[in-house]
Amino acid sequence: KLRSVVRGCGSYLPEKVLTNEELAGLVETSDEWIVQRTGIRQRHIAAEDEPTSALGIKAAEAALKAAGLTADDIDLVICATSTPDFTFPSTASVIQAGLGITQGAAFDVQAVCSGFVFALTTADKFLTSGSHKRALVIGAETFSRILDWTDRTTCVLFGDGAGAVVLEAQEAAGTNKDRGILTSHLRTDGRHRDKLFVDGGPGSTKTVGHLRMQGREVFKHAVSMVTDVIVDAFNATDTTAEQLNWFVPHQANKRIITSSADKLGIAPEKVVMTVEKHGNTSAASIPLALCVAVNDGRIKPGDLVMVEAMGGGFTWGSALIRW
């Protein structure tokens, strides 16, 4: 039996930092309002000449280095993004070429903020089927390019960045018996598609468009949706909240994260929180947070890590990983 084991992770944040104080100069808002409602204090913003692929390439290079691997070792590249460089080719194709990978397959997955969990699950299916050996799973976003910078209800929430993990198909035996992705659960309910969307695209306005959101509606559904798929993961693996070492949720909003952890009985010290510094980076938020917790020594080999996300669609999902 094959399992998808995490070999390494890497991330990249654009150099430019935009603080709440600076935002208060653009729209009528305040540091106090933003921190109190969301927990966000700053976010990173990509430079003019930094498309999503450029962020993804840097994160992927860091992940390969951490894994002790090179481009030649990778036969699958999956990029989760809602802010692609082009309508096509996929951002994964651009990243693959940028890394110098010429073998295997590369494609994008589009599930907005849940994109990384969807991409991770997709890669897991390829690897555990035996068809592919090593996957780069990337979450890369430049939401700054689809924000309406005159709309204070949305522009304060998001940031740019990228994160990546290298997964490897390994035999689930010996010391590896319990390692890797243990279970994952994905859901979509398109009836909610108008609660969080971009009002552009080739099939509508033929422009790129801007992110539009019914914030209260998103908030109302978020906690119950993510807790449902986490309970699914607990049930599928006979695991309890106490057994988790780390909870690495999608970083949308501090209040959603703490309410979900509370409801599930996950202790606050097990929650990895980066929203304060990164804002909501959509599909990039989970791999960015994973990297922070790996690099500061919190997540260690053998740890049980739960990731979860919810986003536009609505889409939502969870994955339980033995690191």
Shortest distance, position 194 Cβ to ligand ACO, whole Å:
13
Q: Which is nearer to ligand ACO, 218 or 304 (CB)?
A: 218
Shortest Å distance, C-beta 310 to ligand ACO: 5
Strands 160-171 and 2-12: antiparallel
Q: With respect to ligand ACO, which residue has the nearer C-beta, 166 or 309?
A: 309
Whole-Å CA distances, 14 to 51, 210, 251: 11, 21, 17
Closest CB 202 distance from ligand ACO, rounded Å: 23
Whether 291 is catalytic is: no
Binding interface with ligand ACO (CB under 6 A): 29, 33-34, 37-38, 113, 152-153, 156-157, 196, 213, 215-216, 218-219, 222, 250, 252-253, 280, 310-311
Q: Is 253 a catalytic residue?
A: no
Q: Which of these is catalytic: 44, 185, 192, 250?
A: 250
The pair of structure tokens assigned to 62 is 């860091």
Cβ atoms of 156 and 29 within 8 Å: the answer is yes
Q: Is 213 exposed, middle or buried (0-12, 13-18, 19+ CB in 10 A)?
A: middle
Taking the complex as a whole, the smallest distance from the CB of residue 138 to ligand ACO amounts, in Å, to 18
**Given the residues 9, 113, 155, 291, the one annotated as active site:** 113
Report how far residue 179's alpha carbon sits from residue 91's, in angstroms, rounded to the nearest whole number.
Answer: 30
| Residue 280 annotated among the catalytic residues of the structure | yes
CA angle 166, 170, 174 (to 5 degrees): 130
Residue type, 294: V
Nearest CB to ligand ACO, comparing residues 179 and 278: 278
Angle formed at CA 291 by CA 285 and CA 294, multiple of 5 degrees: 140
Nearer to ligand ACO, 73 or 199 (CB): 199
Catalogue the active-site residues.
113, 250, 280
